[in-house]
Structure formats: structure tokens, C-alpha cells
Amino acid sequence: MPSLQPVRGTHDLLADEARRHRFIEDAAFHAASRYGFGEIVTPIFEFTEVFARTLGETSDVVTKEMYTFTDRSGDSITLRPEGTAGVARAFVSGGLAQSLPLKVFYRGPMFRHERPQKGRLRQFHQVGIELLGVEGPLADVEVIAVAWRMLSALGLADMVTLEINTLGDADSRAAYRAALIAYLSEFTGQLSEDSRQRLERNPLRVLDSKDEADKRIVAGAPAMTASLTPAAREFFDQVGAGLTALGIPYTHNPRLVRGLDYYCHTAFEFTTTRLGSQGTVLAGGRYDGLIAEMGGPATPGIGWAAGVERLAMLVEELPAPERPVAVVPMGDALVAFRVAEELRAAGLIVDVGFSGNVKKRMARANKANARFAVILGEDEMSRGAAMLRDLDAGTQDEVPLSGLAERLLGRG
């Protein structure tokens, strides 16, 4: 019989941690909405082909990490490992080409079967945005600006570094691929087994290798910038100029790449030194070939995703939650519940003590960090009043029920 414990790599989000996650998701949503992004909610699982197409059938996510199963209809189904594929599928299957430019925000759980560690879970959460239908570099600037606004709202601007690079256009990538293969081929015998396989199928992914020997070889590899066409260089220069105009600091990381062929031009990451090896908190890039790869019309796109768990580890202080009002019924409980409902209708957070003597119920009010306690005894209720105790000042007085909400809201 399975243990009644969470599955490895998952955990429950209880009150304080759930509030931290909600704070991050709300900050992302509010930042995106200020730029005209609307929310999209895609299914948590898709046909496996959706992810095999978008992530690459030879990628580690597809070959090693996806939660894939055959359902009762015999279809291969996968729990989503990331958010972009679902948005792209929704664009194609929903016939949204007439709605361009399309600007969407998403949030929710993702799933990858990998070794759990700090900031990396098997069920994790992401927030992200996608902008479809805009070719020019100003779209890249805007998408990065949304991320910067969100991180600033979370108080993380001083903890992160924006790194950007260009993957160039198709001609740039072809030239760079040839140069990279020529360089790496000299070290074939020294590369890891994974990198030797990648060299044949997708050489740019060798640049992402975590193997120490591979890293030393990659350090001497040619940079992408040497292979850029004039048009690709101009595109990248305009992205940098746009970020500078908006006051968004960045550094150029020539080793920052994306391995799949549908990526082009801008790739970017926000990184931090405060989370050890899990230093990337937000990553994105331009993927002009993705929609066509999925069978839709050729449609430019750019977006990013951020890990909520990693952002939560960086957020140092949350805004104080609104303090509740404690209703302490010492007479007719139904009358007390009716009073509580009236206070809630007025916009107050109200916690009702269900049982116990006055001392126990007041202890509960203090534990809940209540600002006031409304004590409803038989005598007070017979007069249409309540005893209102200021739990900070330690004072109390009798208040008519008709004016109780106004008093608690500071209007009476």
C-alpha cells in the first residue's frame, strides 16, 4: 500500500507558502496586464506530439523527463512540461491567426520527472507570457520589459542580471552551425557521450552541456556574433537600444543559446547568484518558426517563462495580509453568524470562533492576528449592540450593531 506522503518531487502549498506563490503570480499578472496581455488557461495535459514537436524529439525533456501515459482510448498523453507548447497548440487549433497580434499570460503547474533539488520539483509552477504576430525588435523589448516590471514589483531588480544574446536569422544560424561543427569535430573523442550525439543531431545544444570537460572545450568555441548577417546584427542592436532607452540594464552573454531550429534572434535569461546552481529564474526567446512547425501559418513569436518556486526563494518580504475581525459569539450563535455575514458583505475579513469559553476564543483571535474582536453576549444583543475590543490598544466599548461595520472600517 502506498505511503500517505506526497509523491517525491511534489509538496503541499500550505497557508504562508501558498500566499507567497499567489503574491508572485499576481505580480506577474498585473505586470502583463499593464502591457495588454490577457490570460489564457490551457489544459494540464496534451497529446504527446504537441511537446515532441515543440521541444524536439531528441531533447532531454522529451526523452527523459516527460510524464507520458496511454489513456483508455489508446492515445499517448503527456502532462505539460512547459507552457509555450500549449499556447502554440491553442493558436493553431483555435484558428487564432485572425486575432494577431495575440498577447497572452499563463500560470499554473508543470511536470517533469527529474531529480528533485533546491528550486527544482517534479510538479512545479510557472508564470509566462507569449506575444505572437509581431516581427520587429520592439516586440522583444516589450516582452523583456514585462519581465523587468514583474521582477521590480517583487523587489528583485537588484538580485538579478539580464543576459541577452542573438541567435541570428536562418542564414546566421546555418553559418554558425557549420563553424561550430568544424570546431567541435576536433574534440570528438574528448566530448561526453551526450555531446557526441548532439554534435550529430543538434550541435548548438553542446553549448548547454553541464559536463565539466565539455565546458572547457566549449569555452574556446566560436561566438555566434561572428556569423551574424548584417540584418541580424541590426536586429540585435535595436533590441539593445530599446532596453537602454527603457532603463533596463543588461549584459551580452555570447554563450546563451537555444538549440531548436525554430528559435531565432533574441534569447535572454534573468539570472541570480543567490540560488546556487539553479541560477536562472526567468528565460525566454524569439521562436518565429514554432507555429509553422506545428502546422499553422508562419507566425513570429516571442515569450518567457519564470519558475514560481525559484522566485519564491528570492522574495524576502511579503506585504502584510489584511488583519481579520474576530467575532466571538457568547449568546445565540446564529445571530453571531448573521452579524459576521453582514460584516463580510461590507468588505471585512471575519473569523468566527465556533466553540470554547471567552478565553479560548480570544486566544484564537490573537493567534489569527485579529485587529478587533466583536463579542456578542446575550445582554449586548438584547440591546442591539456588541462589545468591540481593540486588540492592539486593549480597550473596549459597546457599539450598536447598526453602526458596527462603519466603525470597523474606520468611518464611524
Secondary structure (3-state) at 362: helix
Secondary structure (3-state) at 380: helix
For 11-43, letters b (16+ CB in 10 Å) and e give eeeeeeeeebbebbbebbbebbeeeebeebebe
Q: What is the pLDDT of residue 52?
A: 86
53-63: per-residue pLDDT in tens?
Answer: 877 765 667 66
Residue type at 66 in one-letter notation: M
Hey, CA dihedral for 332, 333, 335, 336, is it positive or negative? positive
Count of CB atoms within 10 A of residue 226's CB? 11
Q: What is the pLDDT of residue 262?
A: 83
Q: Which residues of the chain have pLDDT under 50?
A: 412
In order of start, what are the domains of the chain with their CATH numbers?
A: 15-169+229-314 (3.30.930.10), 325-408 (3.40.50.800)
Calpha distance 306→390 (Å, rounded): 43
Q: What is the pLDDT of residue 257?
A: 85
Calpha distance 191→204 (Å, rounded): 14
- Considering just the CA atoms, what is the radius of gyration of the chain in Å? 27
Q: What is the pLDDT of residue 18?
A: 94
Cβ-based burial of 7 (10 A; exposed 0-12, middle 13-18, buried ≥19): exposed
Q: What is the pLDDT of residue 1?
A: 54
Count of CB atoms within 10 A of residue 393's CB? 7
